[in-house]
Structure 1
Amino acid sequence: MKNIFLIALAVITLVSCDQSQKTGFIDNSELINKYQEKIDIEAKFKILIETFQKRTDSIGRAFQVEAQAFQQKAQTMSDAQAQQEYQVLSQKQQMLQQGIQAEEQQIQLESQTEIDSLISKVRGYVKDYGQKNGYTYIFGSNEGGSVIYGSEANDITKTILDALNAGYKK
């Protein structure tokens, strides 16, 4: 009886140890940076930033012209009148700078929100991919070294990237 129990325990132990765990890893930076949706998001924000920069340059040049005109006009004004005009001009400059800063922050916030959403989407896709394809673990490699070495056979970066890009094109 004791021998049967030991044999059963040994068989159960061997069977449970025999179950291999399917693992893979992805290169996080490559996956994100080569994902077409991220490339498109960056292109969209590059255009927004260029447009914003042109507009702010134009506003800056217009303000410089106004400031130069004030300097010429101030020479013919009384000190009190010149001081009053200078305060108005200073307030206008502050308002312009605040508006530019607010718009710049808005662009940064929108960009970061879209990138965060994209990263969340990619993580969800990797999780679903792992579940559907029988993976026990999918690790992410990065500069910090969460995967220092992985066999090329276990690198599923290209497979997932191709699937993500194919889904995005649809």
Structure 2
Amino acid sequence: MRLTAITAAAVLATGAAFADTVAPGDVQFGEYGEVATSLSGMDGDADAGRVIFSSRSKGNCAACHAVAQLPDVAFQGEVGPELTWTGEARTAEELRGIVSNAKMTFPDTVMPAFYKTTGFTRPGDGYTGKAATGELSPILSAQEIEDVVAFLLTLQES
């Protein structure tokens, strides 16, 4: 009986965390593109964020951004700004907005929106007629956005 009560409590706690998740279409951006509150309702995990940032199959952030604190990540990019001191230069709210949808802060950026499901230009219709229809899944989940933000905040000089 005790194990059942513990399991039920864990399920309820997990459900409460998901209940606080902000859907991609409900993200509230501030005047300068910042997002004031956690998208998942939970703190990010910097170690998980490092993996997402570095992973070619997930965030793939290192394809465009160089980070001195990641000497083990090969072929870091030069398309976007170097992020070595990002944790000193940006707040969590600014980073959350930029990672979610950088165009809300930098309208002319080529950085993809990692937490967006609608409003995409779909050139496949003009070329092949095979563009996806309807909403797409976001590239990163709400918690993965929080994890990447937590990692970026660790990028400081010392």
Range of TM-score over shorter length: under 0.3
Q: TM-score, normalised by structure 2?
A: 0.23
Which of the two has greater strand per residue?
1
Higher relative contact order (CA 8 A, sep 6+): 1
When Rg is computed on C-alpha atoms for both structures, the one with the higher figure is 1
